[in-house]
Structure 1
Amino acid sequence: MVTLDRTGLLPQCASCIRRVTRLSLNARPPLQQVRSKSKAARDAERNVVVKLRLDVPRFGRAGSYIPIAPGTMRNRWFPSRIADYVTPLQLKQLEAEGVDTSRDFTFGVRVPLEETEEQDLLQMPKQHYVRPIEIDMLSPTRSMELINTFIPPTLSFFRKPIEHTQSDAKQRQGASSAADVLTAAAMASQPEPTANSIYGSVSAADVVTTIRSALAHNDEAARVLLAESDVRFISGHVDGDSSRVKQLGDFRVEIQMPGAEAPLTRNIRVRAKENS
């Protein structure tokens, strides 16, 4: 029986070694060729869809949806209020409606082939977004109800009365005839003050300020918008001027906001201010 040694099966010459090596290489399965994505496809996956707020040359008109690089949107367009982000829910709705979200490269191109530089648009002063103040306005009827609830029937004010003395007039009489004539003319041109006259006056503005101070202690009542034109005196006021009184006593004011059905009346009590 012949015993075969393993070394006897190996090729013994250079030609045999090359043939065996070539057969081994050809026996391997061919490598699968993988084609990489194009640059346009990769950019389409990385871009985000935004909604333009302004006309941007080479991109599109205001209100259109276009893709843009996330870095450009984050660092330049959104801070400059050029475009707004589109949420995933809005993007799905746009796709369902078949809205075109491609970029318009021909928008804003001048003839002959002159384009408006994007840098000019970005160099414009930034328009900072200011959120509008939302105020829940009270109706005139509700405002009058709050005034009627929180304002007492009588509002008191204190003013310094005018003291009437005749000593100065008597001392000046007889100094000279010309001085007496001038004094008499000046006194005749001025209205004669009454016994209850005060320095200054109590005006509709004073009444409004007092009402606002009383309403400020309630959150809902503090939103009442009361103007000076909504308050007028119906007794004791100066002739032809219903916005103020200039004497001590008790008076009445009428509060009527535009749109309210009926006015409110309150008593105004003007008392003498004691000297400190």
Structure 2
Amino acid sequence: MASLERMVLLPQCASCVRRVTRLSLNTRAFAPLQQVRSKTKSAKEAERNVVVKLRMDVPRFGRAGSYIAIPPGAMRNTWFPARIADYVLPAQLKQLKAGGVDTSRDITFGVEADLEEEDEEDLVQQPKQHYVRPIEINMLSPERSMELINTFIPPTLSFFRKPIEHEQTDPRQRQGASSAADVLTAAAMASKPERVVDGIYGSVSTADVVATIKSALAHNDEAARVLLAESDVQFLAGHVDGDASRVKQLGDFKVRILMPGAETPLTRNIRVRAKEN
């Protein structure tokens, strides 16, 4: 019976015989496999950490003067620029390892038991920032601003612009008329002169008026603090239809100056003259 069972266990085909023969020749195939464990993530991070010396007390890390291991990125970007810790030289690091100095962080240092967990970046003591006193500007009242404008701005402001040249044609003469008719026609034309409006290239706007006023006020320390806007100036007459912020012809014009909060407006004369070539 035993011989029958042994015959059943023997290989029955040529391929099975060759497989059993190869396995018997290779003794390592029957040896148990050796399990190799890789390093954990925390162990790899511990090897990459750098040992530093604290310059100040840092909660959950340690006291000033102690040696701890931290990630190199945190030391390069935060700790060393903020003068929280210093790098440890290789020679000093060898002495620390030879002396068996513990470089692990103290997570209980400076933290009470009842406090909630906080981020490590928030626990790092940032360097004290110097207090910068804000600049204080004494604002002038609207009434005082109007008084300064009335004092330093003359009654008339002159602007020069290039006029638009108009082609003038001679009046058409009547042919076949007598000399007496010509005299009467000339007298009639002289009694009714044509009104000629001289246009200019560009315009004189309230922005130009404000810039001229500010330039005049800049020579006085107090008057230079006057805050005058374009909306505070308005042409009273002669301006472009629908736009009281500019004029486009030669002549004299009136502007009104009134700052918000002031009661009495000021009036100045704007004289636009032809600019000579």
Please give the TM-score of this superposition, normalised by the length of structure 2: 0.48
Please give the TM-score of this superposition, normalised by the length of structure 1: 0.48
Computing the radius of gyration from Cα coordinates, the structure with the larger value is 2
